[in-house]
Amino acid sequence: MAAFSERMGLLFLACLLLCLSATQAVDRGNFKTCDQSAFCKRQRAMKPGQSAYRALLDTLELSDSRLTLQLINDNNKVRLLLELYRLQGNMTRVKINELKPLKPRYEVPDVLITDPPTEPLSVLSQDENGVVLSLGAETRRLIVSARPFRLDIMEGPQVLLSLNSRGLLAFEHLRLRKDTLSDKISSTVGSMWDKIKNVFSSNSQTDPAGAERTEDSDTADQHVEEKAADGESDKEDEQPGEWDETFKSHTDSKPNGPSSISLDFSLPGVEHVYGIPEHADNLKLKTTDGGDPYRLYNLDVFQYELYNPMALYGAVPVLLSHNAQRTMGIFWLNAAETWVDISSNTAGKTVFGKMLDYVQGASETPQTDVRWISESGIIDVFIMLGPKPTDVFSQYASLTGTQSFPPLAALAYHQCRWNYNDQDDVRAVDQGFDDHDIPYDFIWLDIEHTDGKRYFTWDPNKFSQPRDMLQNLMDKRRKMVAIVDPHIKVDSGYKIHNEIRSKNFYIKNKDGGDYEGWCWPGSAGYPDFTNPEMRAWWASMFAYDQYEGTMENLYTWNDMNEPSVFNGPEVTMHKDAVHGNWEHRDVHNLYGFYVQMATADGLIQRSGGVERPFVLTRAFFAGSQRFGAVWTGDNAAEWDHLKISIPMCLSLGLVGISLCGADVGGFFKSPNQELLVRWYQTGAYQPFFRAHAHLDTPRREPWLFGPENTALIREVVRQRYTLLPYWYQLFYHAHRTGNPVMRPLWVEYPEDVATFAIDDEFLLGRDLLVHPVTEEGARGVTAYLPGSEVWYDVHTFQKHNGGQNLYIPVTMSSIPVFQRGGSIIPRKNRPRRSSSCMESDPYTFYVALGSQKTAEGELYIDDGHTFNYEKQRQFIHRRLSFANNVLASSNLAPDAQFSTASWIERIIFLGAHKPSAITLRMSDGSESPVEFEFDAAMSVLTLRKPGMNAGADWTVVLR
């Protein structure tokens, strides 16, 4: 019987895969619209107007760092508790929960890196209409209006942000179902009558109303009062989808009933908002009037559509607003299914009366309104007040952490497909890169490398000697990534499954048994990664004596961790599955976050805490940046998918996830030669650079498309490797500050309105501007060069003025990249087979002189793979500066200790004048002449072999 069941399961899976293979694009009917999501439909039916909530000012309590205040819904008399915190770093936290919920509501753990430090709050004034609080700065205030309840954050006369200004605060309080409630009322009344009889029978003088009460009776009585006061409750109970909901063949039981929350924010003076990834859409978020809201609900979406608000693999509930005066952010800390509505309006239509009429007059001031809707949990929102883009990045990083500092090799080129067939195939592909003189660092293995989709194993026939395979790669100073997914084959002969089951670590179904769904292995269990004991056990499985056949050059890829459940609703887990005390609906968007967390911990622990991990994840949440890399999922070999990779990664960078990339060439379908080359040229200038392809696509290793295309791909991959020193220092800064590596132009030019909607070009750090060619048959592109500085074409060294749209003719070898005047960028220009082989190679500094004939930059060096930079301060960090004809290298970290064999091979000045002589001065006072060449036509000065060590103090003087 068991064998029959297994055969039927495999048949089901085969049919499913056949359907997937035959599908040309996502079947949108498999995924809900707002109208098909009961709580979204209920909430969205609520139109802007006067709020039902009123602040009870007599309940206000203020401590040094926290204000609490009760809110009451005048329609149903339910009370909420409002908490306000002023946080360090110019942030405000707003929490709203039920005052007396029937049971606790979910509050997201583990995402914040610490309890955010607070600063004192003080009351400036108070009357019957509201209270005014100081937010530290003399002119920055928070106004709490009582009737109706609303919050306004102001700076001087300007309203920065309003909360509940449109009256869309809605908090579905937990309540008993109608039949259960009737029983509870009878029970409570009976209990109270018994107490009254007991009191009087004992001749007590105590007022019956003062009889001892339990917390349960308090809560029940409150809900009795609510029921009596709320004439709509019976109707509410009868609304479809509150206590159960069916989508297609799946029914979601809702034992806790309706529990959704909603809150609106108004942003006067704002027309541009960004963030809330992941969506395959433009960088600037669109208004959602007349369509669906943006959805945040981690889903396995097969070959996703572009330019729509459908949910994808990850969810980061962070939205940034920007205008020429200010950048701000809203972080909605909720892990349940969430929808975000965006609309544009004018300030006078939605903000309160005379004050704004006086401040802003009757003009049509632009305004963006944002409404967040989540299925469960509480309202917990962080308002990041900037004012500069970099301030918002550091504010958000102080809450959720910064991008993990990846091993240097992770920033190099990765070669992947589903799947390399066996060890001989791996060896042949590896040799192919050497034969064609193309560098690479990582080769990847997808699910077929395992023994029957049993993760932490190897196929005994195809990968029988994994350590030999890994050693062969190590001998060439290369590495491998193998996939480890979080769906575990239900098989009594499989150690991983048996241990998870014996430890009771599987997620449960609503009836208490282990939850099972279908995924690649067939019937699969899903470990409960919200359980810290489960995460610790999972981490221990990466130890070399547990994960047999592994070595230190094997890293990990977590896929399908939304979680993907082929036979589940919307290809994911049932919301009424159970994680300990919580339903899956409460924690859904955290699942992938926890999988990557546990995996990264495992890679760190296996090395005794010495080595930095590299873990790629498909599903993610706020804070996932702490654990590794993200990619944009199952894209297609189409030009529009190439184009959309730019805004998708830009959006992720804005919310802290800098290590982002898209499958080069497209996962589905087969790119023609032009598209493949253009994708390599784009991917080489995005943070995570990996080629990947579907099982059913023809092989597409870089040398399979003819010598001409091989040469083009070889050249752009080598360009990536020459820039690794610059990439590495950008990620060092991202790790230290939270600033994105790949960033929109407006981040560096926040007052230039022309940059606000640009998403077909981008900056790497401050100093490189990239405009990939993403149009088929393009003969030219138009790039916007921002600012008042000059920009140099990195290939030709031609100089262009900023503040213009520049038309650039292109051929198939063209990659429009510009270096900012006033910058110094280090490169390593010797081609090698891998980044590790470049460790001691010499540097070339590119000094692009600005209009003032000055420039500055940095050089960061460490061992490239351990935590010693952090634990033992073993690194080199130097400032490079050019002014008054002197180029100097000075130490930015005098307390750090590290040595390097790398030296300075060349220094190239762009926009230079010809000197009469050049002298090198070392810190010991010694001097020596430096040979140079000068190209008068291009104003390029080249210093050859000055020869100083990259970690030394020195100056070069141009006479």
Helices 673-683 and 639-654, packing angle to 10 deg: 10
Place of tokens 């575990």: 488
Cα 85 from chain centroid (whole Å): 25
Q: Please report, as a single letter, which amino acid is at residue 658.
A: S
Q: How far apart are CA 748 and CA 766, in angstroms?
A: 7
How would you class 8 by CB atoms within 10 Å of its CB: exposed for 0-12, middle for 13-18, buried for 19 or more?
exposed
Number of Cα atoms under 13 Å in the Cβ half of residue 752: 17
Q: Nearest to residue 386, comparing CAs of 443, 324, 438?
A: 324
Q: Please report, as a single letter, which amino acid is at residue 92.
A: T
Size of the chain, expressed as the number of residues it contains: 959
Q: Where are the alpha helices (DSSP H) in 23-83?
A: 38-45
Helix (H) or strand (E) holding 645: helix 639-654
How would you class 924 by CB atoms within 10 Å of its CB: exposed for 0-12, middle for 13-18, buried for 19 or more?
exposed
Cis amide leading into 933 (omega within 30): no
Distance between first and last Cα of the chain = 89
Is residue 634 flagged as an active site residue?
yes
Q: How far apart are CA 162 and CA 520, in angstroms?
A: 47
CB 578 within 8 A of CB 508: yes
Q: Nearest to residue 411, comparing CAs of 722, 627, 26?
A: 722
CB 631 within 8 A of CB 616: yes
Q: Nearest to residue 942, comparing CAs of 920, 900, 910?
A: 910
Number of Cα atoms under 13 Å in the Cβ half of residue 643: 15
CB 26 within 8 A of CB 19: no
Q: How far apart are CA 215 and CA 743, in angstroms?
A: 52
Q: CB count, 10 Å around CB of 191?
A: 14
Q: How far apart are CA 508 and CA 579, in angstroms?
A: 7
Q: Nearest to residue 755, comparing CAs of 113, 199, 324, 164?
A: 324
Cα 498 from chain centroid (whole Å): 34
Q: CB count, 10 Å around CB of 22?
A: 7
Q: Where are the alpha helices (DSSP H) in 401-515?
A: 423-435, 466-475, 495-502
* Rg of the chain, C-alpha, whole Å: 30
Q: CB count, 10 Å around CB of 232?
A: 10
CB 267 within 8 A of CB 368: yes
Q: How far apart are CA 107 and CA 649, in angstroms?
A: 29
- Of residues 237, 446, 559, 767, which has the active-site annotation? 559
Is residue 422 flagged as an active site residue?
no
How would you class 485 by CB atoms within 10 Å of its CB: exposed for 0-12, middle for 13-18, buried for 19 or more?
buried
77: left (phi over 0), alpha (psi -120 to 50) or beta: left
- DSSP assignment of 4-32 equals HHHHHHHHHHHHHHHHHHH-SS--GGGS-
- Of residues 634, 663, 759, 760, which has the active-site annotation? 634
Task: Show which residues are catalytic.
Answer: 559, 634
